[in-house]
Amino acid sequence: MESACSPRVSVKREPEDDEFAAKKKGLKRKRIKDEPMEGPSHSSATPTTKKKTKQRGQEEESDGEAQKKKSKKKTEKTVKKEEGEHPNSKKPKKTKEDIAEARLMKIKKKEEEEQSRWRWWEEEKYEDGVKWKFLEHNGPSFPPEYQPLPDNVHFYYNGKKVKLSLAAEEVALFFAQMLDHDYTTKKVFRENYFKDWRKEMTHEERTLIQDLDKCGFGEIHAMHKAKVEARKIMTKEEKLVVKEANKKMVDEYGYCLLDHHKERIGNFKIEPPGLFRGRGEHPKQGLLKKRIQPEDVIINCSKEARVPVPPAGHRWKEVRHDNAVTWLASWTENIQGSIKYIMLNANSKLKGEKDWEKYEVARKLKSCVDNIRNQYTQDLKSKQMGTRQRAVALYFIDKLALRAGNEKEEGETADTVGCCSLRVEHITLHEKLEGNECVVEFDFLGKDSIRYYNKVPVIRKVFKNLKLFLENKQPGDDLFDRLNTGMLNKHLSSLMAGLTAKVFRTYNASITLQEQLKELTNKSDNVPEKLLSYNRANRAVAILCNHQRAPPKTFDQSMANLQAKIDARKEMLSLSKTELKQAKKEAKTKGSSEPRLQTLVERKKAAVQRCEEQLLKMEVQATDREENKQIALGTSKLNYLDPRISVAWCTNMDVPVDKIYNKSQRDKFAWAIDMTEADFEF
């Protein structure tokens, strides 16, 4: 199994990392320079040739990509490219050649990437529970140490300058930085903050500073704003320097070696200290999130791997070798006491395989969902109260795609609920409402304190049961007092292996997309129209899953801008139309003998057509945007919709995949893009 690939090989070679580390204030760990000898690394195990299966004439995968490549290449040719690199023209100005060259490089890079991609989906899966056989990485990167305030920036208490100790000053800065944020006006936030801040103060400071309202953060706040401003107006060169530094960081810490393959790490940075920003009315908002030290961090890697070197003068809390888990490092966070992990990027094998599996389970549900529905409909009449509650809960989960709703410790988190944790106060029953019978009105805060508000007509049996459940209860009582997620999931797993409450969300989301796409798209539509249909199908899912967003601050403005553009384009269209008429007339009167006039007519015709296309595109865009005002499509696209549905749709509709998936989405769904046949059905 093991190949020649040496386990001692560093994940990434970086010839100058020491220099960089030194520059970064000696905070970054000193890395033992290991001699990297890997060449194109890992690709050994991957077939370099493209595809095996794929006899479809239509290349679904990089349909778009290939197309783009082609067209780009064409333009290069017309621009007349030159291959030879002129070492460097001193001119900052970009010549056409430079641009062409840059494009060429981009294409080359893309191809290389494609070549080196690990096609894990073509490999055999490991035995149960084994996540990897070899894992090596450089550990997490730590945030820079606190930089004391410059001498000309002061903190004031009661109008008087006070020089704070380093620890207290750092925490003061956390607050000052957030002064423009709504958080700092909230009572809970301020109280929590002040309590935790005082813990960081010296005895003297604590004696003096008794009231947050008397604290003067003005100068610190101003300094912070100035810093942000300064970053914005950096010159190109300065920005480049920063970019380079970031790249080095990613090169060193951003990758790991997992079973001979270099994989991108999702979050390789330890979370910096700061003030806890809970969502909604979180009782712990404003508490101090402490700085994490290497001594807090557990490293996970394989026994044979080179253990990451902790920052100078430090050691790890523990180094373990557990290949039953996917994380590379972990620490316990001080606000909730929960564990945080360093894990791989979404485009990694470990994440991708799991994702694929998730959709396979959901597809399995498709084949037995009818039975399950019959079952819970029967259960609505059960003599057992618990069974009835379970049936009603399942009805909601299935019909409304509600989350399971685990119980939460009171006072530890914001008060939010899911299906099983719904309380009496969250629903209102209406015998009749707006022309419907048996309507349940839901109003509660769900995950992330996003409001769920919906008026839903339900079947009579459900309605009657709900009335029963509500009897003799207070608003704060549980609606399903005989049910919790554990019981629900236990029941579900007895109906189908791998079935839990969340599978319904995945299933209903994906099946909805598939149905909507079928319903909304016409083969004869043009691409912008097809994309509008796709977005609408996507939107139907987002609405089902209640994926909301705050309307963008600039929404009205940008809508107005777009409308203005549309109007302008309309005018232009009518203008070019008259020009076309004019030209036609001229051509006619002067006779077709004049070839110049003929071409003019052709040109005008083309202009009109182009104009019309652009106008349509904009109008479609306007519709799309308006409909999308408060809907977030991203979450469902990324987490609920089987990508194979979308890929197959693209193939069948002749829409390039990159019209619906951007680069990182294509990476994440590479498995689906590669394997999906046009006739795929969810």
Partner DNA sequence: GAACACGACTCAGAAATTTCTCG
Partner DNA sequence: ACGAGAAATTTCTGAGTCGTGTT
Residue 546 binds to DNA (criterion: CB under 7 A) = yes
Q: CA of 116: how far to CAs of 41, 193, 224, 406, 451, in Å?
A: 9, 49, 43, 42, 44
Pairing type for strands 339-342 and 329-332 reads: antiparallel
CA distance 76 to 515: 42
Catalytic one of 253, 359, 534, 640: 640
CA distance 479 to 477: 6
Cβ-based nearer residue to DNA, 172 or 601: 172
Cβ-based nearer residue to DNA, 70 or 160: 70
Maximum Cα interatomic distance, the chain, rounded to a whole number of Å: 99
The binder of DNA chosen from 10, 138, 184, 506 (CB under 7 A)? 506
Asked if residues 451 and 280 have their Cβ atoms less than 8 Å apart, the reply is no
Binding piece for DNA, criterion CB under 7 A, among 83-91, 116-124, 493-501, 512-520: 493-501
Q: Which of the 8 DSSP states describes residue 295?
A: G
User: H helices of 233-292, where?
Assistant: 236-253
The binder of DNA chosen from 181, 321, 581, 603 (CB under 7 A)? 181
CA distance 284 to 410: 12
Asked if residues 142 and 104 have their Cβ atoms less than 8 Å apart, the reply is no
Quickly count: other Cβ atoms within 10 Å of residue 90's Cβ. 5
Site for DNA in 70-109 (CB under 7 A): 93-94
The binder of DNA chosen from 11, 335, 440, 608 (CB under 7 A)? 335
The binder of DNA chosen from 153, 365, 369, 503 (CB under 7 A)? 503
**In the annotation, is 341 catalytic?**
no
Residue 640 binds to DNA (criterion: CB under 7 A) = yes
Site string (349-388) toward DNA, x via CB under 7 A = --x--xx--x------------------------------
Binding piece for DNA, criterion CB under 7 A, among 198-206, 399-407, 466-474, 574-582: 399-407
Residue 663 binds to DNA (criterion: CB under 7 A) = yes
Q: Which amino acid is at 669?
A: F
φ, ψ at 641 (rounded to 5°): -100, 120
Residue 240 binds to DNA (criterion: CB under 7 A) = no
The binder of DNA chosen from 224, 289, 306, 349 (CB under 7 A)? 289
Site for DNA in 568-597 (CB under 7 A): 568
Residues contacting DNA: total by CB under 7 A:
87
Site string (13-52) toward DNA, x via CB under 7 A = ----------------------------------------
Site for DNA in 51-70 (CB under 7 A): none
Query: Least separation, in Å, of the C-beta of 377 and DNA?
Result: 21
The binder of DNA chosen from 36, 218, 280, 386 (CB under 7 A)? 280
Q: Name which of 65, 54, 40, 14 is nearest 116 in CA terms.
A: 40
Residue 636 binds to DNA (criterion: CB under 7 A) = yes
Q: CA of 426: how far to CAs of 333, 390, 403, in Å?
A: 32, 18, 15
Helix (H) or strand (E) holding 160, with range, is: strand 160-162
Burial 197-230, CB ≥16 within 10 A → b, else e: beebbeeebeeebeebeebbbebbbebbeeeeee
Site for DNA in 439-458 (CB under 7 A): 446-450
Binding piece for DNA, criterion CB under 7 A, among 71-79, 263-271, 521-529, 580-588: 263-271
The binder of DNA chosen from 64, 140, 310, 418 (CB under 7 A)? 418
Residue 160 is encoded by which pair of tokens?
Answer: 């008087």
Residue 664 binds to DNA (criterion: CB under 7 A) = yes
Assign residue 383 a region (left: φ > 0; alpha: ψ between -120 and 50; beta: otherwise).
Answer: alpha
Residues annotated as part of the active site: 640
